[in-house]
Amino acid sequence: MIAWHIVLRFLWINFFIMILFMVNLEASRPSIGHFNKENKKVFEFLADSMSNEGELLKGEGNVVLLTSDFYIVAHQATYNTQKKIIEVRGSVLVFKGETLYMKADKVRFELDEQYSILEPFYMHDAESGLWVSAQKAILERQQYNVQGSTLSACSLEMPIWSISFKEGTYNQEESWIRLWHARFFLFDYPVFYSPYFSFSTNRSRQSGFLFPKVGHSKDDGIIYHQPFYIAVDSQWDATVTSQYRQHRGFGGLAELRFSDHRNSVATLRAGYFRNQQSYQDTFDLANKASYGYQARYVRSGLFSEFFKLVKEDGLYIDWTELNDIEYLRIQKEGEGDVDIYDKLLTSRINYFLKGENNYVGIYSKYYIDLSLTNNDTTFQTLPTIQYHSHTSPLLWDKLSYSIDYKLHNYWRKEGYTTTQNELTIPISLTQPLLNDYIMLKLSTALYATYANHSNITPQLNDFLFFSNYYTFAVYSDLIKPYKSFNHSLHLETEYTLPGIKERKGDVVPSLQLPGDQNKVTFSVSQYFYSPSKLEPFLYHRVTQPFYRNHQYENIVGDFENELRWFLSENWSISSSIFYSFSKHRIAELSHDLSYQTPETSLYVGHFLRKKGMRYLENTYDLAEADFIHFAINKNLGYFGVFGSLGYDYKEHYFRTWNVGLQKSVRCFSYRVRLANEMRPILTTSGIQPQENRYILFELQFDPVGAVSIKL
């Protein structure tokens, strides 16, 4: 039997002897250190053998120089102890951390002056992947000065792109490269010359000019965008972009971004573009200039972290004000988001504050119909104020009530305006039956509204409406596990019965009165879950209402069917259908099919909406729509292909299509896109389509910058 304790003791003794031998071997190597005025070691010099010739100390074999920043190895080194100069020769390798930083045949350091000469010179920055090769470089303090050099971030043997320059500097502290008389090469072909060129090698934000976007179009001529980036503080930055169009005019766009102490980012954007008179006359444009501004901000916890009574609050801002659709189109040009499907642009400012038992909300909606020359007659909701008292027990734990009050201000510049007050007080009784398999809910609601009309001739009488209505609901929630999935089912029947009603004055279309008709609603919703996942892989819901109107006519409401199905980890499908039994037609539908893998993405979607087909739904102001959208993106290895199209069945034309190629490697990426769009322009007679076809070249030279060219 093996005595394992003897074997282990033998191994420990041998390991200890080996460590002592290595320490003594290293300690036996000749070495010398250099100290500064504060008696701190600046560097340490080690070699297999050293000899002293006057003020020169020579090292031979496995030379090692250790500094606070670098680790240097070479074949030979000579150190002048009086002048504090050291020369290192023979396959010099300089490491920074664990990464090879540069290499040369000869390096000369002046320790007191922080001055070095490197011949020939090669430097590699591990963070950016950038390398510089030159016959000679001078390092003075934190800056390299090089002449007759080449730099790139691609392979050294055959770089995809490179920059040759006559003179250049690299500041290590600022991570900034400046080049004079720079020639840009794609492989071996020169494509661009600049007398001066500079850029940063790190990813931190720095102020300066960004790469311009250059293009050309049949109508606008030469197009030039020049952005300037401003980064003064870590919490905010800005981009100011000037824009010139040869045959059209000039303008600019400014964007300010800042973050608060909770890392919520706000974006403010404003733009202006002025058309030439000849261009405005040619295309019959409604406006001489297009301008606008936008604000985006989402923030939670404005006051909840300061006041204990406030449990939760939040602010949401998504606001756009413009005079012309061109303001949106010009700033998004070439970004792929060229098709505006909905002509109604909605801005929102919402704030809510939630306490233990109460809720307060302020909501504003501002609508811009992009097809109109002005929106003076468009109704705006500025604002809606809501107070809600959460459901609370009333004398009995199964009896509950809540209070809801809303103030709506429907305003517009021209035409009548309305201010509406609404008060709803529902009282509900909930009773479980059959061992909690069935729930019975009986409720009554007191509802009152008062609407004041103004700015109209002839004068409308103020509207006063009071009612109470009853709701009877029976529902059941069932859950059953199976071997491969879990199934949950919700069944519900709800009946709404109008009670006492009293009305006085003139009602306008913007007012909706709840509980005004007899209504029975049947609904079924179900979820299918995988046992190992919380997210459902299949969701299905159907709803069917029935009405009895004031003329005692029975009306079948709109049937709604909604489905979301994740067929696998890659495939998913969703569908929503509204069928109008009163019109015997589909009122609205949408279908979406998508496929997603790391190498492939596919999307097919169809949307249909008929105007005025939904029963008792306020959809008469929404435009009809019938279009499909298709998009694909496939990585073929050597390159990727992509494409998309949008076809309008109602107008019978392709709204947009594009196809292209793309490729991305470590130092370089490109994207070539052929696109055609039917862009809307606002003329004196309203919105008119205008065809725009172009080729867009997008080249990314990492970490130098990017170039975008539109033809």
Whether 330 has a pLDDT exceeding 70, the answer reads: yes
Rounded Cα–Cα distance for residues 642 and 633 (Å): 4
Q: Who's near 511: CB < 8 A, 6+ residues apart?
A: 418, 420, 449, 451, 463
User: What pLDDT does residue 9 have?
Assistant: 52
Is 687 a member of any domain? no
Whether 681 has a pLDDT exceeding 70, the answer reads: yes
Choose the most confident range, by mean pLDDT, from 373-377, 401-405, 530-534.
Answer: 401-405
Give the pLDDT band (50/70/90) at residue 21.
very low
- For residues 609 and 583, the answer to whether their CB atoms sit within 8 Å is no
Cite the DSSP H helix spans in 218-341. 277-283, 326-331
Give the pLDDT band (50/70/90) at residue 334.
very low
Mean pLDDT of 56-80: 82
Examine the domain organization and report whether 147 and 212 are in the same domain: no
The strand pair at 265-275 and 289-300 is best described as antiparallel
Across the chain, mean pLDDT equals 83
Mean pLDDT of 373-380: 85
Examine the domain organization and report whether 212 and 323 are in the same domain: yes
- What is the DSSP-derived secondary structure letter of residue 391? E
Examine the domain organization and report whether 218 and 138 are in the same domain: no
Is 622 a member of any domain? no
Examine the domain organization and report whether 189 and 293 are in the same domain: no
Examine the domain organization and report whether 41 and 164 are in the same domain: yes
Which residue, 188, 206, 224, sits at the end of a domain? 206
User: What pLDDT does residue 25 have?
Assistant: 41
Per DSSP, the three-state class of 27 is helix
CA 296 vs. chain centroid, Å, equals 12
Each residue's pLDDT tens digit, 203-234:
677 788 887 888 888 888 888 889 999 987 88
DSSP sequence for 57-93: EEEEEEEEEEESS-EEEEEEEEEETTTTEEEEEEEEE
Whether 293 has a pLDDT exceeding 70, the answer reads: yes
Q: Look up the domain containing 232 and give its range.
A: 207-331
Rounded Cα–Cα distance for residues 418 and 79 (Å): 91
Whether 26 has a pLDDT exceeding 50, the answer reads: no
Whether 623 has a pLDDT exceeding 70, the answer reads: no
Each residue's pLDDT tens digit, 6-16:
444 544 444 44
Considering only residues 131 and 553, tell me which one the structure prediction assigns the higher pLDDT: 131
Considering only residues 305 and 269, tell me which one the structure prediction assigns the higher pLDDT: 269
Cα dihedral 381, 321, 342, 621 in deg (nearest 10)? 30
Count of domains in the chain?
2
Examine the domain organization and report whether 201 and 214 are in the same domain: no
Each residue's pLDDT tens digit, 509-529:
767 777 778 889 999 999 999
User: What pLDDT does residue 547 have?
Assistant: 86
Considering only residues 325 and 247, tell me which one the structure prediction assigns the higher pLDDT: 247
Is 269 a member of any domain? yes
Least confident of 74-83, 120-129, 561-570: 120-129
Examine the domain organization and report whether 127 and 252 are in the same domain: no
Rounded Cα–Cα distance for residues 547 and 556 (Å): 6
Whether 340 has a pLDDT exceeding 70, the answer reads: no
Examine the domain organization and report whether 73 and 215 are in the same domain: no
Examine the domain organization and report whether 83 and 223 are in the same domain: no
Mean pLDDT of 651-662: 87
- For residues 247 and 229, the answer to whether their CB atoms sit within 8 Å is no
Examine the domain organization and report whether 244 and 324 are in the same domain: yes
Examine the domain organization and report whether 126 and 195 are in the same domain: yes
Mean pLDDT of 367-390: 87
Is 557 a member of any domain? no
The residue whose two tokens read 């809540």 is 402
pTM: 0.71
Give the pLDDT band (50/70/90) at residue 71.
confident
Is 541 a member of any domain? no
CATH number at residue 92: 2.60.450.10
Each residue's pLDDT tens digit, 246-280:
999 999 999 999 888 777 889 999 999 999 999 99
Whether 68 has a pLDDT exceeding 80, the answer reads: no
Burial tier of 16 (Cβ tally within 10 Å: 0-12, 13-18, 19+): exposed
Least confident of 105-119, 139-153, 477-491, 539-553: 105-119
Name the token pair of 72.
Answer: 């240097």
Is 247 a member of any domain? yes
User: What pLDDT does residue 620 have?
Assistant: 41
Rounded Cα–Cα distance for residues 482 and 495 (Å): 34
Examine the domain organization and report whether 200 and 243 are in the same domain: no
Is 171 a member of any domain? yes
Which residue, 206, 238, 257, sits at the end of a domain? 206
User: What pLDDT does residue 522 have?
Assistant: 96
Mean pLDDT of 622-649: 88
Burial tier of 122 (Cβ tally within 10 Å: 0-12, 13-18, 19+): buried
Is 259 a member of any domain? yes
User: What pLDDT does residue 56 have?
Assistant: 83
